[in-house]
Copies of this chain bind each other. A is one copy, B any other.
């Protein structure tokens, strides 16, 4: 997500959405932020398999892409809260469509993924 040797393709809507949603944890971050888990430490606890570092980085990218806003409270210990922008909220139905399809086909998916 920084200097690239291989140029981006941004030909169609799928390329564009892919660019902001790719990243191992981004969709989950959006989802959990929407559920009200706004602080980085909360998100970390909701996604324990992700390293703290990558969550920080991907939150920054979501912010750069205007899907979330970041509010820093000038207190000690530090307090930060992320919220979805309107733009980010408009993605929720799309994420829900993804999650629903996955849920509806859970058993079959588990089979085909694990049989490999």
Query: Which residues of chain A have a CB within 8 Å of any CB of chain B?
Result: 1-2, 8-10, 12-20, 27-28, 31, 49, 64-66, 87, 90-91, 93-95, 97-106, 108-110, 112-116
Q: How far is the CA of A2 from the CA of B113 in the complex (A)?
A: 11
Closest to A116 in B: B64
Q: Chain B contacts of A94 at CB under 8 A? A: 97-98, 101
Q: How far is the CA of A35 from the CA of B47 in the complex (A)?
A: 37
Closest to A93 in B: B97
Q: Chain B contacts of A31 at CB under 8 A? A: 14
24 pairs, A vs B, C-beta closer than 8 Å: A2-B116, A8-B113, A10-B110, A10-B113, A10-B114, A12-B103, A13-B99, A13-B102, A13-B103, A14-B27, A14-B28, A14-B99, A16-B105, A16-B109, A17-B98, A20-B109, A65-B113, A66-B112, A87-B105, A87-B108, A90-B105, A91-B101, A93-B97, A97-B97
Closest to A48 in B: B9
Q: Which 6 A-B pairs have the closest CB atoms?
A: A13-B102, A13-B103, A17-B102, A16-B109, A16-B102, A13-B99
